[in-house]
Amino acid sequence: MMGWVIAAGLAILALGGLIVIGRLPRQAYEIAAAALLLGLAGYAWQGRPALAGSPRQSAENGGAPFDEKLAEQRRGLAERYGKAGQWLMLSDGLGRQGKTREAANVLLSGLRETPNDPNLWLGFGNALVAHAGGVLSPAADFAYRRAMMIDPEGPAPRYFYGLALARAGQLKEARKLWAPLAASAPEGSEVKKELELNIARIDAMLGSESR
């Protein structure tokens, strides 16, 4: 019984902290509350407060450390407001805690609600790659392709899918995505400079492999 009281109290404190300290938007109250209720449901299902504590490092979650720069790039290229932005914000928060599985599951919940949102599919792909420790899994590959199919002209899906492909060693495929994106990017923009630099590196690597 005491475990339930503590768990409920922590959930209330967490929600209050998100609202007061984290300045959570009013539109995201329901999402945050739902996430906390899911946590309590998980506690009711699997919680065993009588067991002795056994601390674990977050690396045991199997995912990669949260990449703040990558998240900021996504927010710069993709939608950061509206319902998709709220789901992505909640997912980012979980990712910062090393909870990569939960970060991906949050976006999966958002996709059940709005299955044709390219930003959620993009975020889902990124979250799956993070959970796999940087590996481009078939599920992540599908998520990126889905985002590109829904928004074929959007720069974000092509940029991040290309990044995942390049990190997976699929350099030719990454270049095919990045070359037209770099050509259409505004002159002098940071994205254009980064893409052109990445393409030059790929060309150098592919050239050395052919020798």
Yes or no: say if 143 and 122 are a contact pair by the CB < 8 Å rule.
yes
pLDDT-derived band at 183 (thresholds 50, 70, 90) equals very high
Mean predicted lDDT score pLDDT of the chain? 75
CA pair distance 28, 106, nearest whole angstrom: 13
- Whether residue 108 lies inside any domain: the answer is yes
Task: Tell me, yes or no, whether 160 lies in a domain.
Answer: yes
Residue 52 domain flag: no
Together in a domain, 120 and 208:
yes
| Cα–Cα distance, 187 to 101 (Å, whole number) | 38
- The angle that helices 68-77 and 155-167 make with each other, rounded to 10 degrees, is 150
Measured CA to CA, the distance from residue 23 to residue 20 in angstroms comes to: 5
CATH, residue 203: 1.25.40.10
Please check whether residues 89 and 174 belong to one and the same domain. Answer: yes
The closest alpha carbon to 28, from 117, 97, 93, 122, belongs to 93
Average pLDDT over residues 59-66: 52
Distance separating alpha carbons of residues 208 and 133, to the nearest angstrom = 28
Q: Examine the domain organization and report whether 74 and 21 are in the same domain.
A: no
Please indicate, yes or no, if residue 51 is contained in any of the structural domains: no
Both 112 and 172 in one domain: the answer is yes
Looking at the domain assignment, is residue 58 inside a domain?
A: no
182: containing domain:
69-211
Same domain membership, residue 127 and residue 79: yes
**Is residue 2 a part of any domain in this protein?**
yes
pTM across the whole model: 0.63
Of 129, 207, 206, nearest in space to 172 by CA: 206
Q: What is the mean pLDDT of residues 94-101?
A: 90
How many separate domains does the chain show? Answer: 2
Asked if residue 85 and residue 169 are part of one domain, the reply reads yes
Co-location of 4 and 99 in the same domain: no
Model confidence band, residue 207 (pLDDT cutoffs 50, 70, 90)? confident
**pLDDT for residue 6 is more than 50:** yes
